Amino acid sequence: MSVSFFPNGLCFNKVLAAFIVAFTLVLAGCGAGGESNEASAQVSGDGGDNHDETGDAGNTDPEEVPEEPEQFVLNLVSQPGNVTINEGDTYTFSVAVQNDLPITVTWYRNGSVVQSSASTSFNASEQGTYDCAITDGQSTLECDSFSLNVTVSQFVTITTQPSNQMVNEGVDVTLSVAATGTGVLNYQWYFDGAAIAGANAPSLVLNSVTVADGGEYYVVVSNTGVSTTSNSAQVSVAANTLADALITWSRPAQRADDSALAESDIQAYEIYYAESVNGQMQQIDTVDASELDYVATGLAAGTHYFSLVTVDTSGLKSALSTPVSVTVN
């Protein structure tokens, strides 16, 4: 007895044919190798839980995303400019900075560091070119260069003033001044308000003054910036009162060795003159042995000194006699 699962051979044949086709498709799928399987795995991973096979590229943890670095503010709001000060003064330069972090300000003079601290100001007294740099450890700002000009103070000080003088005609007069100051000092002397040509030294010498030279003298001392005028010095010149003076003496009776000296042994007398008691005696005349006096003429006011030397017939001379004085008022 035979059992038939299919009513007729046609149906069987159709089923068999369908099975063969299906089996062939399965074999064809297996024969595709790893590429089809890999593609299938990727498709499965998109739809299911296949994280280990596909990696982290498509499912990044938000906590692991790199953060942007925090930005700190450092702005230069204001900066110094050029300044001129007087010698001896001090000027404070400063900068204004907008910052979040602590800063360090470094100040430079002519390229060299003069101060580095947290202070935004700097006291300067030396002339030069300055600049500064501000840093907060994250960034650095530089200010523009600026200059400090120092004006040197000009001064002239007279330390010794010229003094008044009262003299007689014919003598030399010297007026002097002493001064200190900045730079080169210049001098100009004045007589009764008029500049004296060529009188450009600390001392003014008036040779052989006359009554006309009497008057008011002063000097102006200057440099390139300032000038100072001295006190006035009054020079008074008295006119000479010329007078004659009679000088007399006694004939010496012995020589220096105590031997006798006769009148006939004397040849002449030499007359000597000096302007002061300790002044150098100068011979002014010679008189005959018969003369025992001498008239000195043209003597100006003051005291004059005379001395005598005896000359014998052999030409020997005595020592100078003790001076005698003659005063002319």
Average pLDDT over residues 171-179: 96
Mean per-residue pLDDT, 323-327:
92
Residue 321 exposure: Cα atoms within 13 Å on the Cβ side: 23
* Contact call for residues 273 and 325 (beta carbons, < 8 A): no
- DSSP string across 159-211: EE----EEEETT--EEEE-EEEESS--EEEEEETTEEPTT--SSEEEE-S--G
CA pseudo-torsion sign 116, 120, 122, 128: positive
58 in helix, strand or coil?
coil
Provide the mean pLDDT of the chain. Answer: 82
Residue 124's pLDDT is what?
A: 94
Share of the chain above pLDDT 90, in %: 57
- Which CATH number does the domain 243-328 belong to among 2.60.40.10, 3.40.50.300, 1.10.460.10, 3.40.50.1820? 2.60.40.10
Encode pLDDT of 53-88 as tens digits.
444 444 555 566 666 666 678 898 999 999 998 888
Q: Give the domain 156-238 fold.
A: Immunoglobulin-like (2.60.40)
pLDDT at 18 over 90: no
* Extents of the domains making up the chain: 1-37, 74-151, 156-238, 243-328
The region of weakest confidence among 16-20, 194-198, 216-220, 300-304 is 16-20
Q: Is the pLDDT of residue 212 over 90?
A: yes
pLDDT recorded at residue 153: 75
- Which CATH number does the domain 74-151 belong to among 2.60.40.10, 2.60.40.180, 1.10.10.60, 2.60.120.430? 2.60.40.10
- Cα 43 to Cα 113: distance, rounded to the nearest angstrom: 69
Q: Does the pLDDT at position 11 exceed 50?
A: no
Q: How far apart are CA 124 and CA 105, in angstroms?
A: 15
Q: Report, as an integer, the average pLDDT of 245-251.
A: 90
Whether the per-residue pLDDT at 302 is higher than 60: the answer is yes
Q: How confident is the model at residue 45 (pLDDT cuts 50, 70, 90)?
A: very low
Per-residue model confidence as pLDDT tens digits over 105-164 = 999 999 999 999 999 999 999 999 999 999 999 999 999 999 999 887 788 999 999 999
Residue 287 has, within 13 A of its CA and on its CB side, a CA count of 18
Q: Can you give the pLDDT at residue 65? A: 64
C-alpha closest to that of 310 among 302, 301, 296, 321: 321
Q: How far is CA 58 from CA 42, 48, 182, 265, in A?
A: 12, 13, 86, 156
Distance CA 141, CA 162 (A): 63
Residue with tokens 């839980």: 49
What average pLDDT does range 14-42 have in this prediction?
A: 41
Lowest mean per-residue pLDDT among 119-123, 206-210, 221-225: 221-225
Between these two residues, 96 and 14, which has the higher pLDDT value? 96
For the ranges 20-24, 137-141, 287-291, the lowest mean pLDDT is seen at: 20-24
What is the torsion angle, in degrees rounded to the nearest 10, for the CA atoms of residue 182, residue 188, residue 189 and residue 192?
Answer: -120
**Residue 150 φ then ψ, to 5°:** -110, 120
Q: Which helix (H) or strand (E) holds 11?
A: helix 9-31
**pLDDT over 50 (residue 30):** no
Q: Amino acid identity, residue 37? A: N
Ramachandran bin of 102, using left for φ above 0, alpha for ψ from -120 to 50, beta for the remaining angles? beta
pTM: 0.40
Q: So what's the pLDDT on residue 151?
A: 82
User: Is residue 262 over pLDDT 50?
Assistant: yes
Q: Which three-class secondary structure state does DSSP give residue 51?
A: helix
Per-residue exposure over 166-189, b if at least 16 CB sit within 10 Å of its own CB, e if not:
ebbbebebebebebebeeeeebbb
Are 74-151 and 156-238 in the same CATH fold?
yes
C-alpha 298/C-alpha 196 separation (Å) is 32
